[in-house]
């Protein structure tokens, strides 16, 4: 949520739309009034203190990463020492979180970026949960387009929370709406698509679409017998065998695709194998066997 911030002045750091400099005049509006709308983080700092200069770029990066879900205000204690002391600041750097006009949490010192990210995350309203519930409600009343839109918004708000896109995509798969499930998964930010659950589901959806559109299994085997390099037929056959729970049959075709052409369907052979590995788990004997075969192929491709 982006909040207005009247009284903006020259920024301490790069020109970020969610970062503002405090003055004695704008503090009541910039911090206290805006804290009625959402969290405002005030970084009390000094240009003479090394830890402050370490913390500041971390805060600015996170303000951009969270995309306006909180407002970041920089207060230079060299210039506004009395104002800082009136808010209980006795050491720097100090970050105070304001909600409803009062301080609700404080961070002292130049913490690591991961620590600061965790500190910020606990201050934010659970937007992803709200969007998840909205997406499920939209789906239940038949508004598939609305469900997909809200699930995508949830992933953008918090790419590390895969619940909304995962649940909506699964519901679409159960209804046989493979194209819509695939469109949703492909629209997610890269960090969300890289999550194992979503990557596995995306590969599964691709297989389902391929199996649904595939010719008969006999026709596919005849096509491969006539042309061993017919990778589309091999991919469709792998999908048909996977849907039939024949994992060996599916992995056999995918391994052959990976060996023959890594560029086919954006390395569908390798990515398909990895998705099946995740599905079966590391303890499965078939996973160990086909992983070793894939690694052998990788080794052969490396330059001497």
Q: Model pTM greater than 0.85?
A: no
- Asked if residues 46 and 37 have their Cβ atoms less than 8 Å apart, the reply is no
- Residue 76, helix vs strand vs coil: strand
Chunked into runs of 10 residues, the chain (304 residues) has average pLDDT values of: 39 66 95 91 95 93 81 95 94 94 92 88 75 84 85 79 86 86 86 83 87 94 97 95 92 95 90 87 92 86 63
pLDDT the model gives residue 300: 67
pLDDT the model gives residue 7: 36
pLDDT the model gives residue 251: 96
Domains and CATH numbers, the chain: 19-121 (3.40.30.10), 127-192 (1.25.40.10), 214-301 (1.25.40)
Q: How many H helices and E strands in the chain?
A: 15, 5
Assigned token pair, 141: 């009343």
- Asked if residues 220 and 214 have their Cβ atoms less than 8 Å apart, the reply is yes
């Amino acid at each position: 949520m982006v909040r207005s911030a009247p009284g903006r002045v020259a920024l301490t750091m790069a020109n970020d739309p969610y970062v503002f400099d405090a003055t004695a005049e704008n503090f009541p509006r910039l911090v206290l009034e805006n804290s009625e709308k959402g969290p405002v983080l005030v970084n009390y700092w000094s240009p003479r203190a090394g830890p402050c200069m370490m913390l500041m770029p971390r805060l600015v990066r996170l303000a951009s990463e969270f995309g306006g879900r909180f407002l970041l205000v920089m207060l230079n204690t060299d210039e506004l020492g009395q104002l800082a002391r009136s808010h209980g600041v006795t050491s720097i750097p100090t970050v105070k979180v304001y909600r409803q006009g009062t301080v609700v949490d404080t961070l002292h010192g130049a913490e690591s970026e991961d620590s600061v990210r965790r500190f910020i995350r606990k201050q934010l309203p659970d937007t992803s949960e709200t969007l998840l519930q909205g997406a499920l409600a939209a789906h239940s009343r038949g508004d598939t387009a609305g469900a997909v839109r809200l699930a995508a918004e949830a992933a953008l708000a918090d790419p590390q929370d895969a619940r909304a896109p995962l649940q909506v995509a699964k519901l679409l798969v159960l209804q046989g709406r493979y194209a819509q499930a695939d469109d949703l998964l492909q629209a997610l930010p890269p960090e969300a698509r890289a999550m194992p659950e979503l990557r596995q589901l995306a590969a599964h959806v691709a297989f389902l679409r391929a199996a649904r559109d595939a010719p008969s299994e006999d026709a596919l085997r005849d096509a491969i017998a006539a042309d061993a390099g017919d990778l589309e037929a091999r991919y469709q056959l792998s999908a048909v065998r996977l849907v039939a729970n024949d994992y060996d049959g599916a992995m056999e075709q995918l391994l052959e695709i990976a060996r023959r052409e890594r560029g086919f369907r954006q390395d569908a052979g390798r990515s398909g194998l990895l998705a099946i590995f995740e599905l079966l788990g590391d303890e499965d004997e078939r996973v160990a066997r086909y992983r070793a075969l894939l690694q052998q192929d990788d080794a052969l491709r490396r330059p001497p």
